[in-house]
Chains A and B, each alone.
Chain A
Amino acid sequence: MDVSSVSILTEWDIVAARQMGRSEAKTIGFGAVDQARITTAISELARNIYLYAEQGSVTIGRFEKDGKVGIRVIAEDQGPGIGDVQLVLQDGYSSSYGLGAGLPGVKRLMDEFDIQTEVGEGTKITIVKWLS
């Protein structure tokens, strides 16, 4: 399956990741509203990596499951990890810096959301939007 990946090291890479996401979403056939949702979600995840983990990667590609077609984005880092996952997934939660809309916002923009995280090991967030 075709996937592209961007390393997130500087704030310019946030721009690169969302541009890649927008172009991939367009290619798969998403409309303007879903393109905006996908681009925004990627921007939030890439910024989280840049702010909290310093480096990581965002991998974007066409995704098929059970006859459905969509886009899958994997944001991965070897940063500090998240201690209390339930807390950061609570609506209205945002980090003490007040940056970013937080993960609940990203979850609402997408159809599927999965997070795996370990303190001291890193975080892997997988999001999917289905073409409907």
Chain B
Amino acid sequence: MIQPKVPILKLKNCLIISIQWELDDATALQFQQDVLKKIHETNARGVVIDLTALDFIDSFIARILDEVIQMAGMMGAKVALTGIQPPIAITLVELGIELSDVLTALDLESGLDRLQQELEG
């Protein structure tokens, strides 16, 4: 069973990532490496990760995302998470998982806007 990689697009100085299917552990770890590599290659200053399609996030995926936020920060890129659905917000809080200081927005478009404001401001 090999899952396809998560595609990473570049738009101006931002990377845009939409996670479209449930990630297994190996794909999630690969995703983490790919994002950092792409930040390095493109000198991106912002990263939007859209989670609209996910119907659950367990502590492993949450940890991967949290690490991406921190690692990207070390490389000078700010991360915005978008499209977190109500069931995911509820389960993450009940599980007791906290994400690092991160921009969030309801959808990809407003996430990009907020990120741009942050980068310009």
Contact = CB atoms under 8 A, between A and B. Distances in A.
Contacts of B90: 33, 36-37
A111 interface: no
Given A11-B24, A108-B96, A33 B55 contact: no
A97 to B, nearest CB: 11
A105 B87 contact: no
Q: Interface size for chain A: under 10, 10 to 19, 20 to 34, or 35 or more residues?
A: 20 to 34
Contact of B56 (A18, A101, A102, A108): A18
20 contacts: A12-B1, A12-B24, A14-B25, A15-B22, A22-B56, A33-B87, A37-B87, A37-B91, A37-B94, A39-B55, A39-B56, A40-B56, A40-B58, A40-B91, A43-B56, A43-B58, A99-B60, A100-B59, A101-B95, A105-B97
Given A12-B1, A32-B55, A99-B63, 20 more contacts: A11-B25, A11-B26, A18-B56, A22-B55, A32-B87, A33-B86, A35-B55, A35-B87, A36-B90, A40-B91, A44-B58, A44-B95, A47-B58, A92-B96, A99-B59, A99-B60, A105-B59, A105-B96, A105-B97, A109-B94
Interface of A: 11-12, 14-15, 18-19, 22, 32-33, 35-37, 39-40, 43-44, 47, 91-92, 98-102, 104-106, 108-109
